[in-house]
Amino acid sequence: MVQRKTVLATGVFDILHPGHIRFLEESKKKGGPRATLVVVVARDKTVKDHKGHGPTLPETDRLELVSALRPVNRAVLGHEKVDFLGVLHELKPDIVCVGYDQSDVKRKVVKLVADQKLPIRVVKIRKFGRKGLNSSTGVKKRIAANWRGTSLAR
């Protein structure tokens, strides 16, 4: 029997766009047939510490949305103080997939895996979709611009 591989992906997933779906589908494919995709959704506090401002949707909402995506087998909230090693020990992935904009995560996980001699492959997933609307920030920029336009027009 071929063992089902566990693939781990992580992110903020603030305002969902097709780039998220393609990232998750592509990540799951890396685990081969019948892979299990587990997604760690970043905590509000982590985002705030990292970016200086929190996400638009609270973590419980973001978790609910990611859990409802078809490729996702299981979604969990991360630790408030980022703990990659703890997460790897808890979720025991065979593969960790990182997005095109997660070089920082990639570097840290690659180092951990090497230092700890963990049997985990780290894979970078390429960027998908049209420029501008394939990032939550791009979508937010557009909303803010349109909102101002709408307000002025009224």
Q: Which residues bind its own copies (CB under 8 A)?
A: 15-18, 21, 53, 56-58, 61, 64-65, 68-71, 133, 139-144, 146-150
| Burial class (CB within 10 angstroms; exposed 0-12, middle 13-18, buried 19+) of 121 | middle
Instruction: Kindly state the smallest distance separating residue 128's Cβ from its own copies, in Å.
Output: 11
Nearer to its own copies, 71 or 99 (CB): 71
4 contacts 34 by C-beta, under 8 angstroms? yes
CB of 117 to its own copies, least distance (A): 36
Which is nearer to its own copies, 107 or 141 (by Cβ)?
141
For residue 11, the minimal CB distance to its own copies (Å) is: 15
Closest CA to 99 of 133, 135, 127: 127
Here the tokens at position 124 are 């970078």
Q: Using the structure block, give the residue that is written with the tokens 């001699």.
A: 117
Closer residue to its own copies, CB minimum distance, 30 or 122? 30
